[in-house]
Structure 1
Amino acid sequence: MFFTYLRRELRRRRKAALVVASGLALGIALVIIVSSVSSGMSRAQDKVLESLYGLGTDMTVTKAAAAPGSGGAERPRFEFDAKDDEDATQSTDRVMVQGFQTLAADTVGKVGGQAGVADAVGGLSLTVLKVDGQFKRGEFKQEEGATGQGGPGGGPPRGEVRGGGASFDVNSFTVYGTDVTQQDLGPLTSSRITKGRTFETSETDAQVAVVDSAYAKEKSLAVGKSVTVSGTAYKIVGVSTADSGDAAANVYIPLKQAQTVADSEDEVTTVYVQAADSQQIDTVKSAIQKNIPGTTVTTSADLADTVSGSLSTASGLASSVGTWLSVAVLVAAFLVAGLLTSSAVSRRVREFGTLKALGWKSGRVTRQVIGEALVNGLMGGVLGIAVGLAGAYAVTAVSPTLTAQLGSSGGGTGGPMGGGGPGRRAAAKTLDIALTAPVSLTTIAVAVALAVAGGLVAGAFGGWRASRLRPADALRRVA
């Protein structure tokens, strides 16, 4: 009897049911779209951070910045000899630690021994400045009309030296010293090997290198050729391509080799840390800062705060304006559904009064109204999920491009980590990220829950109104 009456009443009041379902569908669809876009924003930000610091990196440890006025690193000096052969090309380079701040290599072991740390690996980030060119002698041009070996009174010849000078080119590239025994953590994991191979665990001190594909193309490098760093030739064994954005470095070499060419034995610039539990990152950060003084710990969340550009703006809008708009529309839809249901009950006074006169209890009438409202809510949920999925698919299909730039928080002496990690070079680059809107099962479950909740809210309004009706109300309507 319940379902028969329910089916008949829904058919008879199709327009009212459609209005209630459409209002709920609008709110549910907006929640799905905003949730999926926000999830896409989070994925986009993760791609930005992974392009700088690699997969699996939850935090990095660098040396704490020196106090202002305490002195800094010396500027690189380049010295050249004045050779007689003016056609001779002179070349020299300087290898500098990015950020000019290093940690002792044993810091990696100390960090790895902290509670909550699953893995830790050190890396050394370098910048190589290379200057090459040649000096040219000037030519003495005697003044017109001057004769003999000198000027008036037998002095030196009159004229001027023209031309000459020096022509030098300054080139720079970045080098990252990677621990070849632990290649699952660190900046190199943000790139994939597209030619050749990666490092072998036995090549801890071998003169081999992996070069970034963009740099290899620029310098006409390939697997089997060599790249020179501070006078040492490294055989190229592989070419890597960054998954997104710019690579962390132009050239990757074993950590021991990087320490040797930089004259930084047993030193690293950055310790990359993976937490055992992603929910305990803040706890691990506090433990490292407390137990290892003189270090700065930066988490992925800290880096996310420095992301600027249209990605950051859109993310802020989605999390603030979009969320509040979804809540406002959803609340309005619930209220409208409740009021419409209550109003429909008011128009059915004679019907419900007659049913009560025939023996229906108030609870039975209330359940009938709530059942109708719940079906309307489920209809709205199905419609809302369909519209929401269509909207999310449209966003993914269009894939609008957002820009992201990771600003420096290191006071100008290092990268975003404050210690001159590989992100220092990439931080100045703007990354283009294609936005997607993935819809998770959790979002669908929330949508279903909202549909049921909307139906219950509407049913509560109508059921309360129906429970107050009396058979006498129906007789008055008949009169």
Structure 2
Amino acid sequence: MFFTYLRRELRRRRKAALVVASGLALGIALVIVVTSVSAGMTQAQGKVLQSLYGLGTDMTVTKAQAPPAEGETATRPRFRFDAKGEGDAEDGAEQSSDLVMPQGFETLDAATVAKVSGQDGVAQAVGGLSLQVMKVNGQFKRGEFKRAEGGGTAAKPGATGGGTGGTVEGGGADFDVNSFSVYGADVTRPELGPLTTSEITSGRTFAAGETDAAVAVVDSAYATKNKFAVDSEITVKGAKFKVIGIATADSGDAAANVYVPLKQAQTLAGTPDKITTVYVQAKDSQAIGSVKQAIQKNVPDTTVTTSADLADTVSGSLSTAASLASTVGTWLSYAVLLAAFLVAGLLTSSAVSRRVREFGTLKALGWKSGRVTGQVAGEALVNGLIGGALGIGLGLGAAYAITAISPQLTAQLAGGAGRLQGPGGGGGGGGGMMRSAQQSAGKALDIALTAPVSLSTIGLAVALAVAGGLIAGGFGGWRASRLRPADALRRVE
């Protein structure tokens, strides 16, 4: 009897049912689209943050550089070259000097890694040393002294002889500056750190037993520019490293130009048992906040940066779209959904008002108030489910269209935000400094936006459809249950 009556009423009032279902469908579809786009934003930001962190890394521990004390100036790089004496056969010979220094952060004791690993919620931690190498090579050439009188002979500066004066002509210095970044990786823990964001496209990566080996992995862009290949050699501060692999960064911008074993990097910088960064993986991604608090409390004088902190440094169209999806889009979808619920409730209530005599007759025939209320609620629930089905179809279609189009969003990364920053290997000082300035200003990544729809999103849509039907049915059923048979029969539609 219930389903027979339900089917008859829905067919008789199909226009009203379609209006209610369409309103609910619009609100549910908007919720699906906003939820899916927000999920796509999260994935896009994850790709961006992956270029800042290593795979599986949840946070980094560093120590910020202390500002110079009052009255002191920041230490500047200094290069020293041997002087050549008069008549030296090596006058004009090429001279070279390398300056290797930690970059970005103050150094930490290597024991910090074990201390961080011992904190509650930490699955594993690994240390790394970020270095900046400035290589200066070239030659000095002495000028020739020409006497002003007597058409005299040329002599080197400093030579004794007559003459009342003269000028030095020619000579000077011609030096080339090459700046590049080196990262010391813990080869025994290859699953964490910046190198994991790159794919070995030629050769191989480090072996666990190569902690003391003079081997290197070179970024593909740097290798192409400087003509490095597998089995070639790269010299850093007089030490020769054999290139065993070429790595291509997933994000297009590598964390460093050259990767060497951590002990070798410490030797190059003259900083034994020192690191600049600890990469941390938490046991539970939901407990990253508590892990951060534990590290900050128990490992003093350090800065803990999580992926959420880095997300705040991302700007550009990706950040703008994410903000719109999480604020304007979310509130708009809920506002439309609330309006749809209200419209459904009002239309159902209006339908009950037009069926006063019908319900009065049914109650006179013996229907209880609960049965009348259930009949009205059942009709509204079916309307809600129809609206949910339409809304899911509409929302899935919109999400598929967004994924198919894949609009490009730009993510601008703030320079030095929790990642290894360093100038790429330029041929000369001008190129190196220009690249350094570009990196300090940040870099831009183009990310394709998708709108993945998860089962939880579908479940949310179904729940909203049921809720909309129940709200409308409850409102109309309450009106119907208040009717008395005698009063209802006296009313004229």
Q: Is the 8 A contact 2:63 2:106 kept in 1?
A: yes
Residue of structure 2 equivalent to 1:8:
8
| Residues 64-103 of structure 1: pairs in structure 2 closer than 5 A | 64-66=64-66, 68-69=68-69, 74-81=75-82, 88-99=93-104, 101-103=106-108
Q: CA deviation at 1:215?
A: 1.4
Inter-partner Cα distance in structure 2 for 1:460 and 1:113: 56
1:468 to 479, 482, 485: 482
**One-letter amino acid matched to 2:228:** L
Q: CA deviation at 1:313?
A: 1.8
Inter-partner Cα distance in structure 2 for 1:197 and 1:265: 27
Residue of structure 2 equivalent to 1:412:
none
Equivalences, count? 464
Q: Is the 8 A contact 1:196 1:237 kept in 2?
A: yes
Inter-partner Cα distance in structure 1 for 2:43 and 2:50: 10
Can you list the C-alpha shifts for 1:298-329, whole angstroms capped at 9, x where unaligned?
22222222222222222112111111111111
Q: SS where residue 114 of structure 1 aligns? A: coil
**Structure 1, 322-331 or 211-220: larger mean CA deviation:** 211-220
Residue 86 and residue 353 in structure 1: after superposition, are their counterparts in 2 closer, same or farther (change >3 A)?
farther
**One-letter amino acid matched to 2:420:** P
1:124 to 120, 123, 129: 129
Inter-partner Cα distance in structure 2 for 1:203 and 1:197: 12
**One-letter amino acid matched to 2:25:** A
Residue 100 and residue 355 in structure 1: after superposition, are their counterparts in 2 closer, same or farther (change >3 A)?
closer
Q: Unaligned regions of 5+ residues in structure 1, if any? A: 409-414
Residue of structure 2 equivalent to 1:329:
336
Q: Is the 8 A contact 1:349 1:473 kept in 2?
A: no
Inter-partner Cα distance in structure 2 for 1:82 and 1:432: 51
Inter-partner Cα distance in structure 2 for 1:182 and 1:416: 24
1:220 aligns with 2:221: no
Residue 347 and residue 100 in structure 1: after superposition, are their counterparts in 2 closer, same or farther (change >3 A)?
closer
Can you list the C-alpha shifts for 1:138-185, whole angstroms capped at 9, x where unaligned?
678999xx97449xxx96577x66665333322211111000001111
1:445 to 459, 482, 486: 459
Can you list the C-alpha shifts for 1:352-402, whole angstroms capped at 9, x where unaligned?
233333332222222111111111111111111111111112222222222
**One-letter amino acid matched to 1:123:** G
| Residues 270-289 of structure 1: pairs in structure 2 closer than 5 A | 270-289=277-296
Residue 141 and residue 469 in structure 1: after superposition, are their counterparts in 2 closer, same or farther (change >3 A)?
farther
Inter-partner Cα distance in structure 1 for 2:151 and 2:192: 77
Q: CA deviation at 1:97?
A: 0.4
Residue of structure 2 equivalent to 1:195:
202
Q: SS where residue 337 of structure 1 aligns? A: helix
TM-score after normalising by structure 1: 0.89
1:205 aligns with 2:203: no
Can you list the C-alpha shifts for 1:112-158, whole angstroms capped at 9, x where unaligned?
12222111111000011112233455678999xx97449xxx96577
Can you list the C-alpha shifts for 1:170-203, whole angstroms capped at 9, x where unaligned?
2211111000001111111111212211110010
Q: SS where residue 123 of structure 1 aligns? A: strand
Residue of structure 2 equivalent to 1:429:
443
Residue of structure 1 equivalent to 2:369:
362
Measured on the aligned residues, the alpha-carbon RMSD in Å equals 2.6
Q: SS where residue 99 of structure 1 aligns? A: coil
TM-score after normalising by structure 2: 0.87
Q: SS where residue 315 of structure 1 aligns? A: helix
Q: Is the 8 A contact 2:92 2:142 kept in 1?
A: no
Q: Is the 8 A contact 2:24 2:344 kept in 1?
A: yes
Q: CA deviation at 1:280?
A: 2.4
1:57 aligns with 2:57: yes
Q: SS where residue 200 of structure 2 aligns? A: strand
Residue 100 and residue 382 in structure 1: after superposition, are their counterparts in 2 closer, same or farther (change >3 A)?
closer
Inter-partner Cα distance in structure 1 for 2:90 and 2:13: 101
Q: SS where residue 104 of structure 2 aligns? A: helix
Percent of residue pairs identical: 73
Q: SS where residue 107 of structure 1 aligns? A: helix
Q: Unaligned regions of 5+ residues in structure 2, if any? A: 154-161, 424-438
Q: Is the 8 A contact 2:127 2:275 kept in 1?
A: yes
| Residues 16-415 of structure 1: pairs in structure 2 closer than 5 A | 16-66=16-66, 68-69=68-69, 74-81=75-82, 88-99=93-104, 101-136=106-141, 148-149=151-152, 156=164, 164-407=171-414, 415=416
Q: SS where residue 205 of structure 1 aligns? A: coil
**Structure 1, 75-84 or 388-397: larger mean CA deviation:** 75-84
